[in-house]
Structure 1
Amino acid sequence: MLSATTREFYESQLQQLSNAKRRRQCTTYEPLDSTHVRLNGKTYLMMASNNYLGLTHQPQVLASAQKAINAYGTGSGGARLTSGTYPLLPQLETQLACLKETEQALVFNTGYMANVGTISGLMETGDYILSDALNHASIIDGCRLSSATIKVYEHNNCEHLEEILKELPPTGKRLIVTDGVFSMDGDLAPLPDLVTLAKRYGALLMVDDAHATGVIGEGRGTAHHFNCSKDVDIQLGTLSKALGSEGGFVCANELLINTLINRSRSFIFSTALVPAAIGAAQQSLNLLTSDTTLYNQLHHNIEYMTQALLQQGIAVTHKTTATALVSNYQPTPIFPIVVGSAEKALRLSQQLFEKGIILTAIRPPTVPHGASRLRLTVTAAHQEADLQYVAHTLGELI
Structure 2
Amino acid sequence: MDIFEKCRNYTQAREAMESGSYPYFIPLDENEGTEVEYKGQRLIMCGSNNYLGLTTHPKVKEAAQQAISRYGTSCTGSRFLNGTLAMHEQLERELADFVGKEEALIFSTGMQVNLGTISALISRDDVVILDKDDHASIVDGARLGYGKIERFRHNDVEHLERVLKSLPENVGKLIVVDGVFSMGGDLADLPAIYPIAQKYGARIMVDDAHGMGVTGRGRGTAAQFGMTDQVDLIMSTFSKSFASLGGFVAGDDEVIHFVKHNARSLIFSASIPAANAAAALAALHVIREEPELADRVNQIGKRISDELRGMGFNVGNSVTPIVPVIIGDDERTFLTWKRLFENGVFVNPVVSPAVPQGMQLLRTSYMASHTDSQMDQVLDTFKKVGKEVGII
TM-score tier after normalising by the smaller chain length:
over 0.9
Change (3 A) 1:191 1:17: farther
Return the alpha-carbon distance in structure 2 between the equivalents of residues 359 and 266 of structure 1.
Answer: 31
Change (3 A) 1:17 1:195: farther
Question: Which residue among 7, 10, 13 is the counterpart of 1:10?
Answer: 7
Return the alpha-carbon distance in structure 2 between the equivalents of residues 392 and 286 of structure 1.
Answer: 36
> Deviation at 1:310?
3.6
**Contact 1:308/1:387 (CA < 8 Å) preserved in 2?**
no
**Contact 1:304/1:384 (CA < 8 Å) preserved in 2?**
no
Give the aligned partner of residue 325 of structure 1: none
Return the alpha-carbon distance in structure 2 between the equivalents of residues 181 and 116 of structure 1.
Answer: 19
**Contact 1:364/1:372 (CA < 8 Å) preserved in 2?**
yes
Return the alpha-carbon distance in structure 1 between the equivalents of residues 370 and 307 of structure 2.
Answer: 14
1:1-398 matched pairs, under 5 angstroms: 5-15=2-12, 18=15, 25-319=24-318, 331-398=319-386
Q: Deviations over 1:158-192 (max 9, x none)?
A: 11111111111123211011011000000101102
Question: Aligned with 1:83: secondary structure?
Answer: coil
- TM-score under structure 1 normalisation? 0.92
**Contact 1:305/1:388 (CA < 8 Å) preserved in 2?**
no
Q: Deviations over 1:339-359 (max 9, x none)?
A: 111111111111111111111
Moved more, 44-53 or 196-205: 196-205
Change (3 A) 1:87 1:127: same
Change (3 A) 1:308 1:278: same
> Deviation at 1:14?
3.3
Return the alpha-carbon distance in structure 1 between the equivalents of residues 277 and 299 of structure 2.
Answer: 29
Return the alpha-carbon distance in structure 2 between the equivalents of residues 117 and 291 of structure 1.
Answer: 32
Change (3 A) 1:41 1:205: same
Structure 2 counterpart of 1:53, which letter?
L
**Contact 1:130/1:174 (CA < 8 Å) preserved in 2?**
yes
Moved more, 79-88 or 260-269: 79-88
Change (3 A) 1:84 1:27: closer
Give the aligned partner of residue 389 of structure 2: none
Q: Deviations over 1:56-90 (max 9, x none)?
A: 01111100111111221111120111114111101
Question: Aligned with 1:11: secondary structure?
Answer: helix
CA RMSD of aligned residues (A): 1.9
Structure 2 counterpart of 1:99, which letter?
F
Return the alpha-carbon distance in structure 1 between the equivalents of residues 136 and 212 of structure 2.
Answer: 18
- Count of residue pairs the alignment pairs up: 383
Moved more, 80-89 or 255-264: 80-89
Return the alpha-carbon distance in structure 1 between the equivalents of residues 256 and 23 of structure 2.
Answer: 37
> Deviation at 1:313?
2.8
